[in-house]
Structure 1
Amino acid sequence: MNKIIDSHCHLNFPQFKGKLNEIIKRASDNGIYRMLTISTKLSEISDIEAISNSYSEVYNSVGVHPHECMNYKDLSLEDLIKHTKSSKCIGIGESGLDFYYENSPKELQIKLFRIHIEAARKSSLPLIVHTRNADNETIQVLEDEMKKGVFKGLIHCFSTSKELANRAINMGFYISLSGIITFNKSNELRDIIKDLPLNKLLVETDAPYLAPEPYRGKCNEPSYVLHTAKILAELKNKNLTTIAETTTENFNKLFNL
């Protein structure tokens, strides 16, 4: 059986309440041997840590999603760093810029994004970047900050431009692909992915959201990452084993596992 990793999911979300044992068993039975459950706000960290400490396959991050910035206007570097001491905490985020809904002012989002970058730099943990309708601003902040001191990271749920991907990769970042690449409407995205280097790619679910075909519209879960990996295999003209091995190697290299 191929071993593969779901690089981004939200196992603490209410859709999984009371179902985690079966969700994680189903993932393990399908070869998903590691899952990274992602923080979107500090108030959920205790729940996230409880999950990652309860399941050997699960790791966690610490961070504040751009939608939550208004609730963390006074976020400090130490607020993030103190949670990185947990042995299962392997990433900073998800953080970044989301100008689609504008739940938080742009200036505040950028301020908190820079704090997360400093946390990634100080902790040496990868930064997990969320960007939506903000590609230019996101990559500009990342490039500006990289000049101040090196940090590593990934673009989560990549679904936009070749320019964003290439500029991120040029900084040493990885690109994480979600179920969006399986959607019928995603031909342009699939064409972009064909040209991206396989040694810089990861796969994710973003569960419970963005279930891949043939489960689109249903509750997503880590076991479904295989469907995204299969499409990636087709795009790269590789077999699933190669995709599983390479994306797993990429994840373990980035997250130092």
Structure 2
Amino acid sequence: MLIDSHVNLHHHLFADDREAVIERARAAGVRRMITICDKIENFGQVSAIAEAHDDIYCSIGAHPHYAKDHTKLTAERLIDLGRHPKVVGVGETGLDQHYNFSPAEDQIAVYRAHAAAARALDLPLIIHTREADDRMAELLEEEAGKGPLRILLHCYTSGMRLAERALALGAYISFSGIMTFKNASDVREIAKAVPLDRVIVETDCPYLTPVPHRGQRCEPMHVALVQRAFCELRGLEEGAGGALLADNFFRLFHTIPRPAE
């Protein structure tokens, strides 16, 4: 079973052939996809994609890049939207100190609203973090200290210490096609070290196309290459590795029904 835990199907790069992209994913064996909300104003489009397909679910959230546009976003608003039957996660949210498209204080305030909503809804908090390891670890620990919180660090490219602190909180870590990049040895080292019961995979399509298709648009079907790369890295037979990754996914995203094998 293949699962893509993080896709961006509302992206304009899929506008002309979205249904064909979804069909190619299914033909490749992808059984579940989560399409991610990046701005509250886009939730209608994101949720409509999920509503139209039994095997696609969605999140509700605002990416840290756009935190400056969501300074009035409340946990209550996220909770209200998060009651949509196809919403299975809150985010992506977090800290991005690489691009700094939004002020850090806005990113933190919006993150806290997401964390409160995820806690109230008992849904995974989908975290984007880049070049903010120490502060992100502190924020995760602060919010987890307020009550049970399901945490996913998506498309992980940060350091080992953040991974360790997040894992101590019960977090899961997702790896993408970056694992296949020649210069991503640091990501591969962490992917080797994360406990096998805390890992899932994703594409983050249309970005981060895995080798050997770099330079092309990434699609959910490419999660097969991500899963294969992880299994090879950990010395897992691909069937057993796929079953393990699926078990992890359905344990984390506990509101998604598991398909018949």
2:237 matched residue in structure 1? 239
2:10 matched residue in structure 1? 12
2:12 aligned partner, one-letter code: P
- Superposed, 1:92-241 pairs within 5 Å as 92-241=90-239
Deviation at 1:18, TM superposition (A): 2.6
Q: State the percentage of identical aligned residues.
A: 39
Could you tell me which of 50, 69, 73 is aligned with 1:52? 50
> Is the 8 Å Cα contact of residues 129 and 158 (structure 2) preserved in structure 1?
no
Task: Find the aligned partners of 1:116 and 1:219 in 2 and give their Cα distance.
Answer: 30
Task: Find the aligned partners of 2:89 and 2:8 in 1 and give their Cα distance.
Answer: 14
2:24 matched residue in structure 1? 26
Task: Find the aligned partners of 2:244 and 2:51 in 1 and give their Cα distance.
Answer: 27
Deviation at 1:227, TM superposition (A): 0.7
2:22 aligned partner, one-letter code: I
Task: Find the aligned partners of 2:75 and 2:185 in 1 and give their Cα distance.
Answer: 40
Task: Find the aligned partners of 1:133 and 1:201 in 2 and give their Cα distance.
Answer: 21
How many matched pairs?
255
Task: Find the aligned partners of 1:32 and 1:159 in 2 and give their Cα distance.
Answer: 24
1:61 matched residue in structure 2? 59
1:178 aligned partner, one-letter code: S
Task: Find the aligned partners of 1:132 and 1:205 in 2 and give their Cα distance.
Answer: 17
1:71 matched residue in structure 2? 69
Task: Give the superposed CA RMSD.
Answer: 0.9
2:237 aligned partner, one-letter code: N
2:84 matched residue in structure 1? 86
- Extract unaligned runs of 5+ from structure 2: 257-261
Name the SS for the 1:141 alignment partner. Answer: helix
Name the SS for the 1:73 alignment partner. Answer: coil
Deviation at 1:250, TM superposition (A): 0.7
Deviation at 1:38, TM superposition (A): 0.4
Deviation at 1:188, TM superposition (A): 2.4
Q: Does 1:255 align with 2:253?
A: yes
Task: Find the aligned partners of 1:23 and 1:51 in 2 and give their Cα distance.
Answer: 12
Task: Find the aligned partners of 1:181 and 1:248 in 2 and give their Cα distance.
Answer: 19
TM-score (norm. length: structure 1): 0.97
2:209 aligned partner, one-letter code: A
TM-score (norm. length: structure 2): 0.96
Task: Find the aligned partners of 1:161 and 1:254 in 2 and give their Cα distance.
Answer: 22
Q: What stretches of structure 1 move > 2 A for 4+ residues in a row?
A: none
Cα deviation digits, residues 187-220 of structure 1 (max 9, x gap): 2221221121111000000000000101112110
Deviation at 1:148, TM superposition (A): 1.4
